[in-house]
Amino acid sequence: MLGAVMLCLLVSGGYAYDETYEKAARHFKGREYKKAVPYLETYVARMPDPAGYYMLGYALYKLCDYEKSREYFDQAYLIDPEFTSEKIPAHAGLADEDERLVHDILALSGAGGQIEFYAGVVRSSIPVVGETMIRERTKLGMMELVGDMFRQGRLYPSLVSSFNSRFDRDHSAAVIRWLKSPLGKKIAALETRPHTPAEMQRSMDMYQKLPDERRQIIGNLETALRLADTNIDIVSLALSEMLKGMQAQLGERSAMSLSEIEACLVNAREMPREEITQYALDSLAHMYQDLTNEEIRAALRFYATPAGTWFMETKRYAFRTALGKVSRDSGEKLGQALALKRLGV
């Protein structure tokens, strides 16, 4: 009787004795992702396990179902905030160890959510571009189409691809150790926390009101993160790619001439740098207000290491590349729709 009880406990509680999981793991390790998905879906529905969710997200990513993929990756980290792909049982494994490290970095750092900020900035520029069009209906149609193009499911695979193109195993391992440290987790949580309009309003001029030492530290942080330069660079590139994509589809039918497109790009590149920098400083002062001076100094020391420098530069490159690609695709879709008169021009 005791043996039967122990067997029941093992069957209900361990990977090795779950038939559904065993089938999923066998297909997963054999890179038969399409076959693994239904078994993994059944398994996580019965047993919400972060490893199962992660494997399901990875399998769907390999099958190019990026929207669902991201949801399941997020679910794994929601259940276990300290989860990494290292917790995948050895008998299941992951086909591409380098790629799983990239997924870990993006999840632990919250980069998938951070890129939404930049996507929102690009989306907000559409009404300005739309002023060259005549009808309000056109602007609304453009915003709806672009909103769909900038979904997380379209941005995330470009992020992964961009990180993979600059992958460094040693740096990746060091970054993951940092992101899993108490301070690294604290900073990632602060950077990905949504801010209400009221909070953003309160952050205005916050930097100027700080004591001298704190102001110097926040200034050093802005320099290390290159936040103002990154904002200008990403937005101007995204706008450029979108307009060029539209122009390529519309040709002579374009409501914007090449000179008008270039004028828009010049305006984007010549955004008032002092105002952008001041906004960046105020944002950092507000975002990191719960960190001590020494904690920020510790973060700066990490960013100055080879791994920290690689991480910051690669993240900027990945954001720029991902948003540039989606912006070009969005522009081409907009151009096609305008050419076919679907947006009310």
Give the DSSP per-residue string, 127-185: HHHHTTSS-HHHHHHHHHHHHHHT-HHHHHHHHHHHHHHT--HHHHHHHHHHHHSHHHH
Q: Which of 42-46, 83-87, 159-163, 273-277 bottoms out in mean pLDDT, i.e. has the lowest?
A: 83-87
Confidence of residue 140 (pLDDT cuts 50, 70, 90): low
Q: Across the chain, what does the average pLDDT equal?
A: 78
Task: Please choose, from the candidates 240, 284, 229, 280, the residue with its C-alpha nearest in 3D space to the C-alpha of residue 125.
Answer: 240
pTM: 0.73
Please give the CATH number for the structural domain made up of 2-82+91-95. 1.25.40.10
Q: Which of the two residues, 155 and 121, has the higher pLDDT score?
A: 155
Across 133-159, average pLDDT: 63
Across 64-88, average pLDDT: 82
Q: Within its chain, how far is the Cα of 57 from the centroid?
A: 15
Confidence of residue 143 (pLDDT cuts 50, 70, 90): low
Give the whole-number percent of the chain exceeding pLDDT 70: 74
Q: At what angle do helices 97-109 and 111-124 cross, to 10 degrees?
A: 60
**Look-up: residue for tokens 């590149």?**
269
Across 86-106, average pLDDT: 76
Q: Which of the two residues, 70 and 176, has the higher pLDDT score?
A: 176
Q: 178-229: per-residue pLDDT in tens?
A: 998 999 999 988 888 776 767 777 778 899 999 999 999 999 999 999 988 8
**Which whole-number Å values give the CA distances from 249 to 110, 132, 246, 254, 311, in the listed order?**
35, 17, 5, 8, 36
Across 3-8, average pLDDT: 37
Across 63-85, average pLDDT: 83
Domain with CATH 1.25.40.10 in the chain: 2-82+91-95
pLDDT at 182: 93
pLDDT at 314: 93
